[in-house]
Amino acid sequence: MDATELARWQFGITTVYHFLFVPITIGLSFLVAGLQTAWSRTGNEKWLKLTKFYGKLLLINFAMGVVTGLVQEFQFGMNWSEYSRFVGDIFGAPLALEALLAFFLESTFLGLWIFGWDKLPKKIHLACIWIVAVGTVLSAYFILAANSWMQNPVGFRINPERGRAELTDFGAVLTNKVAVITLPHTVTGAFLTAGALMAAVAMWHLVRRPGRDTEAFRSAVKLGSWTSLVAMALLFITGDIQGKIMTEVQPMKMAAAEALYSTEQPAPFSLFTIGTLDGSRPVWSLDVPRVLSFLATGTFDGRVQGINDLQAEYTARFGPGDYKPNIPVTYWSFRLMIGLGVLAALLALWALWSIRKGRSPAPHKPSTRLLMWGMIALPLLPLAANSFGWIFTEMGRQPWIVFSQMKTAIAASPAASSGDVITSMIVYTLLYGALAVVEVGLLLHFARAGLPDVTPPPATESDEDRPLAFAY
Amino acid sequence: MELSTLWFLLIALLFIGYFVLEGFDFGVGMLLPVLGRDDRERRVLINTIGPVWDGNEVWLITAGGAMFAAFPEWYASLFSGFYLPLLLILLALILRGVAFEYRGKRPAASWKRRWDWCIVFGSVVPAFLWGVAFANIVRGVPLDAGHDYTGSLFTLLNLYALLGGLTMVALFLTHGAIFVALKTTGDIRHRANLLAERLGVCAAIAAVLFLGVTLLRRATPAAVVLAVLAALCLVGGLIANRMPSRTDPQGRREGWAFAGTAAAIALAVASLFADLYPFVLPSTVDPLTNSLTVTNASSTPYTLKIMTWVALVFTPIVLLYQGWTYWVFRKRIGTSQIPEEPAPVPAAGGRAT
């Protein structure tokens, strides 16, 4: 493998890993803010207990999101210096804005939230977690604006003298239609994930520890499951719009999502295909007629361009070359994204059903045992769906790093040798592997621990010696 | 003033902010096994920086992002050229960030000890390597006509750069010790004061040597003035660290001492940037054609103009709320405020019977 190939693997691995933590952080920070608001409004102690319980899971997860995010910012320069030179005039600004507007907000107010339980007035302390939550979405917006520019470059011109893309309209970059639709799709994906995590953990307690904080955990199952269900509905809507925009700006990606080789009108959507090894020809497939036409164009008899026609069109436009992404990868990642997301929503529905009207799943019944397996899968499915979504959207852009402007093959760092990239790959793999074990261990530990005691410390102690709340 | 020059100043400012702020939390991290004699004391130390270290680190992320946006060529050449040191810095910062969050999450002593070492490693390594990196930036590195780094790891590990690394470590140790003295009560405060005295002398010697060598290689008037001021501030801070506090006879004038080391670090970094200008990454090979300067590394005036407006509006807001955090957590802490370990978690797998 050459350095570029290695750098691509590294980007894929580190980004997918980073994005395991990001959606949980985004979704859970809002849910925790919601729980704390409920406590502040009602004074009911169960909400405070849930706030602290899920708050702890949020913090364990947040730390990983922050540190793995560092790698992302450095990586553009370290592994992709030619890319950085080409796009820096445009791509750097959203990154700088993300740090200045979002990261400062998140880190500072998270610190205030963690350590401020007894130092800040209640209302201000509550505002802190809301600010953190808003910060996570701001951050998502800026980085998605940057990514969307790679999918659909707008607001720029090419300066042939300096050999780079130069910004001409920053407003166009920030309101890129791909960014505007990708943000809600990504954020609702985050809510699907965080809701699933919340519901699954709470359900585990209801079944395994009956009688302990039942009322609170029932509320958490409901909140988490409903969040996931609403998120899934929104994912369909946003995903549908996104598909139509994608068909418009990156038709090859849509064709690759279906492995549609020749242009068809109307085009079917295949749920499952057994293809030849190179993916160029289906052996057998299960098709639903006209659905791809609808996904791509909004009408059931729309024309969808096929890969071969697009290849010919791109060759005429950009010169000879292979303009096809890796078809089996795009085909399957697209299906897995949708399928696993839907499965998660169904499991959330099952969780709600099992506690309907004050019922609780009886332990030792076979259906309960099955439900427990479902609850283990529940948070993992959206995590996988998120990853496949990103794999699809990034692999579907290939061979371009910036669609229609720069190919991935010429974007890597000339100064970074294969040895350098292998070294960093080994370091990240070992480090990330070890941290995954630690993080999952801690999450399970605290998820099992149950709700914390929230009785305030005796008031007799002087203020000087009062222990710090929530100290490290 | 040209916008590219303004952005050179702003990036200098972001790195100054980073080194002044993260400098003391690196110092506290490095001193963890020295000043923290038992777990309770180590928790006091960690809690002095607990609410703020993450915000301090964002200064680096912002500096990196600003460099990417304002000087893409600088960002690209520097990050791809200083590959392995940056990889080590990342490794260190990752371990350190996770360690702060995770060390208190399990009661076992072995668990905590391991994370403590991650904090020490995660503080020493970036402190040293940032010193090495900045020394090399000022000194210049071999670049080809495409502005790509052509040296190896060992090109970066020259004597001058190693001295830069040691200076950074010594300064941050002193800065951190004084911060601990400023933020704690009782015995730890006293020990931190004494340690700062000794560390301060080392830091002063290292800083004078390093800045001296830097200015002998190439000196601009501004760099000389800033370096002299840095030295004076450091000495002033160390003197304040020996003067008895007016409110507490046991203590010293730690507020002034901290102001002194903070100003010394700020001015020393400013002096390096002043010495660098108008270059951003000079080349030791064909310096006239291959060097990166504020002109040939910068983004377009349009991008810089947008960035300038954003920075003008939002930087004061950031400073305001970050300053507020420091105000909220201004109180000194001592061992008596460290809460007991959280109650052990009930045995796992307690199935219903």
**Which of A402, A390, A408, A362 lies closest to A80 in space, CA to CA?**
A408
Which of A74, A136, A368, A439 best probes binding to B when mutated, by most B CB atoms within 10 angstroms?
A: A74
Residue B184 is given by DSSP the state B
- When mean pLDDT is compared across A131-140, A363-372, B59-68, the lowest value belongs to A363-372
Provide the H-helix boundaries in A298-326. Answer: 307-318
The predicted-structure confidence for B77-134, as pLDDT tens digits, reads as follows: 999 999 999 999 999 999 999 999 999 888 899 999 999 999 999 999 999 999 999 9
**Cα separation of B126 and B131, whole Å?**
8
Give the residue from chain B lying closest to A416, CA to CA.
B80
**Which of B137, B123, B116, B122 lies closest to B168 in space, CA to CA?**
B123
Tell me the pLDDT band of B351, cut-offs 50, 70 and 90.
very low
Tell me the pLDDT band of A457, cut-offs 50, 70 and 90.
low
Give the phi and the psi of residue A209 in degrees, each rounded to 5. Answer: -125, 60
Mean per-residue pLDDT, A50-58: 95
**Which of B133, B216, B140 lies closest to B167 in space, CA to CA?**
B133
For residue B197, give its domain range.
3-331
Are A442 and B105 a contacting pair at CB < 8 A? yes
Tokens of B264: 């010394």
Mean per-residue pLDDT, B226-253: 90
pLDDT at A455 (0 to 100): 75
For the residues of B321-346, what is the DSSP string, one character each? HHHHHHHHT-S-B-GGGSPPPPPPPP
**Cβ pair A111, A14 in contact under 8 A:** no
Q: Which of B94, B318, B321 sits opposite A67 (nearest CB)?
A: B94
- Please give the sequence-ordered ranges of beta strands (E in DSSP) within B34-165, or none if there are none: none
Tokens of B232: 């004076």
Q: How far is CA A318 from CA A19, A321, A400, A408, B298, in A?
A: 33, 8, 11, 15, 29
Are B79 and A98 a contacting pair at CB < 8 A? no
**Cα separation of A224 and A218, whole Å?**
10
Has residue B337 been placed in a domain?
no
Has residue B56 been placed in a domain?
yes
Mean per-residue pLDDT, A257-286: 75
**Cβ pair B181, B192 in contact under 8 A:** yes
Q: Which amino acid is at B277?
A: Y
**Cα separation of B306 and B297, whole Å?**
18
- Which residues in chain A are contacts of B321 at CB distance < 8 A? 104-105, 108-109
pLDDT at B336 (0 to 100): 83
**Cα separation of B118 and B124, whole Å?**
10
- Which residues in chain A are contacts of B299 at CB distance < 8 A? 88-89, 92, 167
Which of B18, B90, B155 best probes binding to A when mutated, by most A CB atoms within 10 angstroms?
A: B90
Has residue B36 been placed in a domain?
yes
Q: How far is B301 from chain A (nearest CA, A)?
A: 10
- When mean pLDDT is compared across A456-470, B218-232, B259-273, the lowest value belongs to A456-470
Mark residue B286 as left, alpha or beta (left: phi above 0; alpha: psi -120 to 50; beta: remaining).
left
pLDDT at A23 (0 to 100): 96
Has residue B349 been placed in a domain?
no
Percent of chain A surpassing pLDDT 90 = 72
- Which residues in chain B are contacts of A77 at CB distance < 8 A? 64, 68, 75-76, 78-80
The predicted-structure confidence for B275-316, as pLDDT tens digits, reads as follows: 999 999 999 999 999 999 999 999 999 999 999 999 999 999
* pLDDT tops 90 at residue B337: no
pLDDT at A458 (0 to 100): 59
Percent of chain A surpassing pLDDT 70 = 95
**Cα separation of A374 and A204, whole Å?**
10
pLDDT at B338 (0 to 100): 82
**Which of B257, B232, B95 lies closest to A434 in space, CA to CA?**
B95
Q: Give the strand pairing for B292-293 and A282-288.
A: unpaired
Whether B2 contacts chain A with CB within 8 A: no
| Choice between A465 and A206, residue whose per-residue pLDDT is larger | A206
Give the residue from chain B lying closest to A454, CA to CA.
B342
CATH assignment at residue B130: 1.20.1630.10
Mean per-residue pLDDT, A243-267: 88
Provide the H-helix boundaries in B220-276. Answer: 221-240, 254-276
User: ω into residue A399 within 30 of 0, thus cis?
Assistant: yes
Give the residue from chain A lying closest to B298, CA to CA.
A89
Q: Which of B55, B65, B105 sits opposite A98 (nearest CB)?
A: B65
Give the residue from chain A lying closest to B299, CA to CA.
A89
Percent of chain B surpassing pLDDT 70 = 96
Whether B57 contacts chain A with CB within 8 A: yes
Mean per-residue pLDDT, A36-63: 94
Tell me the pLDDT band of A342, cut-offs 50, 70 and 90.
very high
Are B80 and A100 a contacting pair at CB < 8 A? no
pLDDT at B350 (0 to 100): 37
- When mean pLDDT is compared across A351-365, A406-420, B210-224, the lowest value belongs to A351-365
Q: How far is B224 from chain A (nearest CA, A)?
A: 31
| Choice between A297 and A389, residue whose per-residue pLDDT is larger | A389
**Cα separation of B73 and B290, whole Å?**
12
Are B70 and A92 a contacting pair at CB < 8 A? yes
User: In chain B, how many domains are there?
Assistant: 1
Q: Which of B61, B77, B351 sits opposite A73 (nearest CB)?
A: B61
pLDDT at A119 (0 to 100): 87
Q: How far is CA A228 from CA A34, A39, A204, A270, in A?
A: 15, 22, 17, 26
Mean per-residue pLDDT, A136-144: 96
pLDDT at A265 (0 to 100): 80
**Cβ pair A257, A242 in contact under 8 A:** no
pLDDT at A295 (0 to 100): 83
* pLDDT tops 90 at residue A132: yes
Q: How far is B211 from chain A (nearest CA, A)?
A: 28
Q: How far is A76 from chain B (nearest CA, A)?
A: 8
Tell me the pLDDT band of B348, cut-offs 50, 70 and 90.
very low
Are B94 and A209 a contacting pair at CB < 8 A? no
pLDDT at A275 (0 to 100): 67
* pTM of the complete model: 0.92
**Which of B218, B214, B134, B192 lies closest to B168 in space, CA to CA?**
B134
Other Cβ atoms within 10 Å of B270 Cβ, number: 22
Which H helix or E strand runs over A377? helix A366-395
Q: Residues of B numbered 210-269 whose beta carbons fall under 8 angstroms of chain A's beta carbons: which are they?
A: none
The predicted-structure confidence for A67-118, as pLDDT tens digits, reads as follows: 999 999 999 999 999 999 999 999 999 999 999 999 999 999 999 999 898 8
Mean per-residue pLDDT, A311-336: 92
* pLDDT tops 60 at residue A465: no
Round the average pLDDT of chain B to a whole number and report it: 92
Has residue B345 been placed in a domain?
no
pLDDT at B237 (0 to 100): 94
**Cα separation of B157 and B166, whole Å?**
12
Mean per-residue pLDDT, B47-75: 93
- Which residues in chain A are contacts of B302 at CB distance < 8 A? 166-168, 170
DSSP helix/strand/coil, A275: strand
Mean per-residue pLDDT, B26-40: 94
The predicted-structure confidence for A172-231, as pLDDT tens digits, reads as follows: 999 999 999 999 999 999 999 999 999 999 999 999 888 889 999 999 999 999 999 999
Has residue B343 been placed in a domain?
no
* pLDDT tops 90 at residue A291: no
pLDDT at A456 (0 to 100): 67
Q: Give the strand pairing for A282-288 and A269-275.
A: antiparallel
Has residue B24 been placed in a domain?
yes
Q: Which amino acid is at A248?
A: E
* pLDDT tops 80 at residue B4: yes
| Choice between B353 and A92, residue whose per-residue pLDDT is larger | A92
**Which of A296, A239, A245, A243 lies closest to A266 in space, CA to CA?**
A296
Tokens of A144: 């998605």
**Cβ pair A89, B303 in contact under 8 A:** yes
Round the average pLDDT of chain A to a whole number and report it: 90
Tokens of A27: 């979704």
pLDDT at A282 (0 to 100): 65
**Which of A236, A223, A26, A253 lies closest to A144 in space, CA to CA?**
A26
- Which residues in chain B are contacts of A471 at CB distance < 8 A? 43, 47, 50, 104, 337-339
